[in-house]
Amino acid sequence: MIKAVAKRIRPLHVLSSLLLYALGVGISDYLGVAINIQTYILGQAWVLSLQLGMYYLGDYLGIPLELGVRDRPPFGSPKRGDQEPLQPEVILSLSALLLALWAAFTVILFQLGSLSGASLFLMAAFFTAYLIRLVPDFSLLDAGYGEFLTTLQIVVIVPALGFMLQAGESHRLLGLTVFPLFALHLAMLLAFQFPSYASDITHDRVSMLTKMGWKNGIFVHNILILLAYLILGFSLFFGFPSHFVVPVLFTLPLGAFQVWYVYSLSKGAPTRWKRMLFVSITLFFLPAYLFAYTYWTR
């Protein structure tokens, strides 16, 4: 049972939230804000309890918010029936427990006076983005926007919340850091849909890629990667310190390789899905880590 529970955690998204939250707090640390460790831990716990609680609730309702790596080709199958069975009552209990913890963390943060108007807005947006995807008649998953919302939540809202809980107000460094990562994360999620594209079309499963089509998906994927590095380059002219940009620009050859390989798929190149997805994951996590490391150590 523990194995079945763990399979539904979506480690890729959970690790992304951990890293991006640390990045947001790191920006405030770089700006000279005294980091409140208690608020840091409570804020991170708030994000993870809501994230996991909603994942389990989506599984219980039969509207999975995101598929885990093991639920996608070439690592597994998108069919939920292929997973180790888990009783619906267990899934619902896990969701209820996690959401109860989330509510408790909200109250504690409020009582500690850690919540500003901006952080409350971000928390409401993070919750609402999950909620509207669980309403059957208003599910943005059916419109192919689920991946966009996932990126918005993890890459924009999570680091912004980590920053706001410490600093209390926004700063241009937050936007300059998040914009290229937004493009790389969305490209990563799109890359994960290429291996299952034929199966998704056959079984009428809606995704961003099935809405775009194969060729348009390749074009958008490559544009997102190129856009990320263009944003990084131009950000130097908007006051983004070079000691943040230059380390990330060293990943440009990896991005160029990914663009070349995905483009070659449209020309009939042999598919090496695991290699492509490994590069795609690295292309997001490595820049995110380099940003976070530089902010925390400068």
Residue 72: is its pLDDT beyond 90? Answer: no
**DSSP result, 1-32:** -HHHHHHTS-HHHHHHHHHHHHHHHHHHHHTT
Q: Tell me, what CATH number does 17's domain have?
A: 1.10.600
Mean predicted confidence (pLDDT) in 260-285: 91
- pLDDT tens-digit profile of 23-33? 999 999 999 99
- Tens of pLDDT, residue by residue over 237-260, are 888 999 999 999 999 999 999 999
Query: Tell me: the pLDDT tens digits for 149-168?
Result: 899 999 999 999 999 999 98
Q: Given phi > 0 = left and psi -120 to 50 = alpha, else beta, which region is 79?
A: beta
Using the predicted structure, report yes or no on whether residue 228 has a pLDDT greater than 80. yes
Give residue 200's Cα distance to chain centre. Answer: 22
Question: Looking at this protein, which amino acid is placed at residue 212?
Answer: M
What whole-number percentage of the chain has pLDDT above 90?
63
Q: What is the pLDDT of residue 163?
A: 96
Q: Is the pLDDT of residue 143 over 90?
A: no
Closest of 190, 194, 175, 193 to residue 239, by C-alpha: 175
Does the structure show a pLDDT above 80 at 3? no
Confidence of residue 133 (pLDDT cuts 50, 70, 90): confident
Q: Which domain holds residue 249?
A: 2-297
Angle (CA) 82-278-293 rounded to 5° is: 120
Q: Quick: pLDDT tens for 99-109.
A: 999 999 999 99
Q: What is the pLDDT of residue 81?
A: 42
Number of compact structural domains in the chain: 1
